[in-house]
Amino acid sequence: MKVPATGSTVGGTRKPNSPTGGHSVTHGKNGKPTSVTTASGAKASYNSAGKISSIQVSVTDPNDPRRSFDMTISKGAHNQRTIVAKRKDGSRLVTTGAHRGFVEHSFVRNGHPYLRRTYVVNGRSYAAVYRGYPYRGAVYYEYVPAYYYEPAYYGWAYDPWGAPVAYGWGWGVEPWYGYYGDYFAPYPAYADASLWLTDHVLAENLHTAYQAQVDGNGGAPPSTDSGDQTSNAGGAPAAQTATVMTPEVKQAIDEEVKAQLAAEKADASGGIQTATTGDQVPAALDPNHRTFIVSAQLQEQLDGGATCMLSAGDVLTRIDNTPDANQNVKVLVTSNQKGHCPSGTQVAVSVQDLQDMHNDFAAKIDAGLQKLADTQGKNGIPAGPAAGGQKNPEGTANADLTAAADLQQQAQIADQAEAEIKRAQESEHGQKP
């Protein structure tokens, strides 16, 4: 349906000519739009560069709380799109690309809070479980492994190998690898599995970031200069080039890998037990965890109100232990991709976002351990103890059978909202001289 034309006001709100329909547009003093509200109620917010930063949508179905939700569509510097919908029944849907996302439900097991996330990746669905712990009035959820390997296998992954291994990943033929060539370089050889896992986790995140750009481009690969975020930076001092990931940053990540391996080995050695109760410091605030790999697109605010972008593969160091009143903590950007928050910048990141990064990190290590078990004795990787192990009932849940369809419907609603905003923009453009 054609959006009705509207009158013109700069530095204020443009009201619809028709009282029964149309859209309204608010402009800043520079004449650029700051918001657009469509006839159906979708509202787009713009940054200082005049680009859409987010769209808010609310849908109500009085007969089905699963189809009643508030949705936020976030747009990144490279046109990546993240969709987050919070249903009235308490569940949550998150779409991070054309073929990726998850549906999240809370549940109670043995009197304790849990989350189940059903991830959908290229048509394949699987469930992950997170255990909730209270901490200073909030509840934070921690990833629970679905499987524990034999303690000896964790030891083999932790301890040095007899000699460095020059393992060929085969990434050279993958588009993302060349695109991030000025940012990430794998180790030329691996003295132990923790270094192998360090590169595995970084590679998985960068692959995700690259695919998000491809999805945002309608399937086309990003151009080599697409890292310039000045067109969508909200006035931030954009980093025009990537900061090559230093050996010190990779070493810090390796230490986090070793800490995770040691923790899982201890759990496997002590037998699978139900987690303890009471307050527990989340990994996001644990003094023993300082380094975090960004796993999802984030827009962060700098001092003075400007914003800058982080996405999967950027590296942060937490410099505060105590969150502020908004449950944010200060972090230092220690490694950045092209056009993202520059290295050395301090930004406030929510504790929940840091916890999500740590959870994703732990899950990727588990996936890497499985890949490593499959690779033992091949391609130069030394043989070691059998992985063995056993399933962990606490980390097991059935996947949501409707997750893929729900995420597809969410994407369709987001497409409709973006189309409405585009029509409003086109109508707006037609009004200008």
- Cα–Cα separations (whole angstroms), residue 231 to 50, 51, 319, 320, 419: 8, 7, 30, 31, 21
Q: Is residue 284 within 8 Å of 403, Cβ to Cβ?
A: no
- Cα torsion at 225, 203, 357, 329 (round to 10°)? -50
Question: What percentage of the chain reaches a pLDDT higher than 90?
Answer: 60
What would the pLDDT profile of 370-394 be if each residue is shown by its tens digit? 999 999 988 889 999 999 989 999 9
Average pLDDT over residues 16-26: 59
- Could you tell me which residue, 341 or 5, shows the higher pLDDT? 341
At 241 the pLDDT is: 67
End-to-end CA distance of the chain: 24
What would the pLDDT profile of 284-294 be if each residue is shown by its tens digit? 999 999 999 99
pLDDT above 90 for 367? yes
What are residue 26's phi and psi, to 5 degrees? -110, 135
- Whole-number Å distance between alpha carbons of 329 and 319: 8
Mean pLDDT lowest for which of 114-128, 144-158, 377-391? Answer: 377-391
Average pLDDT over residues 244-263: 96
Average pLDDT over residues 26-47: 86
Residue of 4, 3, 27, 32 whose CA lies nearest to 14: 27
What would the pLDDT profile of 165-214 be if each residue is shown by its tens digit? 988 888 989 999 999 999 999 999 999 999 999 999 999 999 999 998 89
- Could you tell me which residue, 60 or 133, shows the higher pLDDT? 133
Bridge partners for 106 per DSSP: 115
At 432 the pLDDT is: 46
Residue of 234, 217, 235 whose CA lies nearest to 226: 217
For 430, the enclosing helix (H) or strand (E) is helix 403-431
- Could you tell me which residue, 428 or 418, shows the higher pLDDT? 418
At 235 the pLDDT is: 45
- Could you tell me which residue, 98 or 237, shows the higher pLDDT? 98
- Whole-number Å distance between alpha carbons of 333 and 8: 42
Average pLDDT over residues 408-428: 88
Tokens of 112: 């304790």
Tokens of 194: 């923790």
- Could you tell me which residue, 108 or 79, shows the higher pLDDT? 108
Q: Is residue 100 within 8 Å of 121, Cβ to Cβ?
A: yes
- Cα–Cα separations (whole angstroms), residue 432 to 3, 27, 39, 164: 16, 13, 20, 66
At 12 the pLDDT is: 39
At 113 the pLDDT is: 95
At 63 the pLDDT is: 80
Residue 332: how many other CB atoms lie within 10 Å: 16
- Whole-number Å distance between alpha carbons of 27 and 8: 10
